Chain A
Amino acid sequence: MSTQATTVHQTKWWSGGKSPFNMEYGKLMMWYFLMSDAFTFGAFLISYGSIRFSQNFWPDPNVVFNAFPGAGHANLPLAFVSVMTFILIISSVTMVLAVHAGHKGDKQGVIKWMIWTIIGGLAFLGCQAWEWHHLITGEHAVLVDGKIEMIGQNMRGNPWGAVVNGPEVTAALTNTSHETLMSLMHSANASVSHEKIAAMSDAELRAALSTAELHVREKGPVAFGGYFYGITGFHGFHVFSGVIINIVMLIMTQKNVFQNKGHYLMIEKAGLYWHFVDLVWVFVFLCFYLI
């Protein structure tokens, strides 16, 4: 290491001896790492696009993502995901504030904003867990081989195909098993009690079910689930690691590590990573929920 500190401004940025970008080494590396990560996510999303364009049918996101915690079966398209998006945007803002507090060497400020950022990250992860859980366990009436089955959204099956129309549903109902009829009845008329449904015969059930209200669909493209879980999972993994990094940064701040070093550049690097996670979400949001 050179002992001779270059304090004088030089006009030639590129002639060596100091950073042409006026940027610390580690921060530059973080930027290029994020470039590389952008290509990983880009490749995921682009392959998703490629597969989507190779299908004749693709589910409408407004139909798939219409649930909200505590709202039961109410049809609230995009509501929950907008909450998730705002959580991430707000946590990004708190991160900016943490970085700014770091610039000023304000330890208490850094701690305060880092805690908010971490809370935002955890909240996002919680939302994502709920959404996954809802999609996997949710049961939807799907026409399979001439009969109706109740399936959830997973890696192998997709219940969000094209809508099946009345006469076909009626035909399919005659082949449908008793259990499925019962759960169909239950989801169509939540007011009817379980005992009452259990007492009904197949014929009664079929008669009671109105074909127009059943929303029976065909099986949709399988790749939908794979990409959705794959990409949001990979993004969630990034959020998770971002939260871990932020927690480590928080502890280090608490222990005066940065105070003693004289700068909070590590917070800045963690901040870059966190904003990147937000940035990726913007595109995930676009690709899966909006178009």
Chain B
Amino acid sequence: MDLWIVSMALFVVSSLLGGLNYISTILNLRTKGMSMTRLPLTIWAMFFTAVLGVLSFPVLLSGLILLLFDRNLGTSFYLSDIVVNGEILPNEGGSAILFQHLFWFLGHPEVYIILLPAMGMVSEILSVNSRKPIFGYMAMLGSLFAITILAFLVWAHHMFVTGLNPFLGSIFVLLTLLIAVPSAIKVFNWLTTLWRGNIRFTPATLFAIGFVSLFISGGLTGIFLGNSTIDIHLHDTMFVVAHFHIVMGVASFFGMFAGVYHWFPKMFGRYLNSTLGYIHFWVTMIGSYLIFWPMHYQGLAGIPRRYLDKRGWVSFNDFPELDKMITIVSIIVFAMQLMFVFNFIYSIFKGRKVTSTNPWGANTLEWTTPIRPGHGNWPGEIPEVHRWPYDYSKDGREFIPQTEPIGENESKH
């Protein structure tokens, strides 16, 4: 446990340094012409992710240091009236809720640290593959910003039943439900980006669309759980498990997969195998819903999470067949991920070779580098940027890279 705390501290330090690097690079070291509103949404998302990390991890660090003291130096920050094996510990005056506060002050931003990069990549991939400019670029930025701010204000919605003050809880409910607004804006923008586009259903596109679907289903149950009164019934049930696995686990994994399928040609100069990719997508997509959808019903029926064996309780043992089905499906889905790993490693060496520098016809800068970029990414001068990254299907042209100067009679986007 102490080693775990120390390793977490090291992790905090490393993520802090990484985050600082992202922030200062994005703010300070952009290439010529790359104004903030010409940044791809992926980069914007990485920026806000770094901000979240830099500001929330230190709070966890403080919490962990206090925990380390409690465990080893006899302080009483979190401990009071604790009985272990019939013996009363000498610690008194601490508050266990305090640890929860410190933990969740990181804990909530952390889910956005996981989710925001996926959102950014999905925005980019959807725009590239539906051959349409992203719908509402500024709204996307605004909602990212709003999510970042709100992420810091809502941490105690994980603590409604810990003995948290109910009045404070009600403020946290309000702030939590506010997150639905920027989230809904993002979903709306993704859907309208897809709307009437020339969609190319590459595995990356499919995973991006899958992300949107999962984000909607997982996000909606978040609104349920954000209410402190409903939480009295639903806390610590399978409903919670279903909610956060869909929205934070599977959805961010989908974003990641989309990113990997999309940028694999950039990374290794070869394509991932698409057939395996399609199989990977469909099985994972259907499998995830089969695993987590039924859990909502279990949770509503009051079945708690974290139980190894429910047979001892009649009321918990209402769905043995469902549990069995979930187990089987999760084994299959897991096997699919192994297949993806195989595809990944196989394609690095044996995949179909990329022949052009810009296989997806994308506008962003990374596709202007050579197929195998060397140190410094570009040989010679770094490129200058003249436009935003989403000029797709404009003036009769399918795509216009960011490096291309704005033409004389070009229409505005």
Instruction: Give residues in A with beta carbon < 8 Å to B.
Output: 1-2, 4, 6, 12, 14-17, 19-21, 23, 25, 28-29, 32-33, 35-37, 39-44, 47, 50-51, 54-55, 155-156, 221-223, 225-227, 230, 234
Contact = CB atoms under 8 A, between A and B. Distances in A.
B20 A25 contact: no
Contacts of B59: 39-40, 42-43
B18 to A, nearest CB: 11
B33 A17 contact: yes
A37 B21 CA distance: 15
A16 B63 contact: no
B101 A50 contact: yes
Contacts of B55: 35-36, 39
Contacts of B101: 47, 50
Contacts of A12: 35
B314 interface: no
Contacts of A20: 27-28
Contacts of A1: 376
15 contacts: A17-B34, A29-B21, A43-B59, A44-B66, A47-B98, A51-B98, A54-B95, A155-B75, A156-B74, A222-B92, A225-B75, A226-B66, A226-B69, A226-B76, A227-B77
Given A29-B21, A222-B93, A230-B65, A21 B34 contact: no
A1 B31 CA distance: 11
B28 A28 contact: yes
A20 B34 CA distance: 12
B381 to A, nearest CB: 7
Listed residue (B36, B73, B77, B105) with the most chain A CB atoms within 10 angstroms of its CB:
B77
Contact of A16 (B23, B54, B77, B385): B385
Listed residue (B21, B23, B75, B382) with the most chain A CB atoms within 10 angstroms of its CB:
B75
A36 B16 contact: yes
B62 interface: yes
A14 B105 CA distance: 32
A51 B92 CA distance: 11
Interface residues of B, number: 48
Q: Is the interface of A mostly helix, strand, loop or mixed?
A: helix
B294 interface: no
A19 B36 CA distance: 12
B92 A155 contact: no
Contacts of B31: 16-17
Q: Is the interface of B mostly helix, strand, loop or mixed?
A: helix
A226 B75 contact: yes
Interface of B: 16, 19-21, 23-25, 27-36, 54-59, 61-63, 65-66, 69, 73-77, 90-95, 98, 101-102, 105, 376, 381-382, 385
A37 B54 CA distance: 9
B69 A155 contact: yes
Contacts of A51: 77, 93-95, 98
A36 B58 contact: yes
A33 B102 contact: no
A39 B105 CA distance: 11
Given A17-B30, A33-B16, A223 B58 contact: no
Contacts of B75: 155-156, 222-223, 225-226, 230
B29 A25 contact: yes
Contacts of B382: 2
B377 to A, nearest CB: 12
Contacts of B62: 40-41, 43-44, 47
B16 A156 contact: no
A223 B93 contact: yes
Contacts of B61: 40, 43
A28 B58 contact: no
Contact of A21 (B28, B93, B105): B28
A158 to B, nearest CB: 9
Contact of A223 (B24, B36, B76): B76
Contacts of B65: 44, 230, 234
A256 to B, nearest CB: 28
Contacts of B98: 47, 50-51
A36 B57 contact: yes
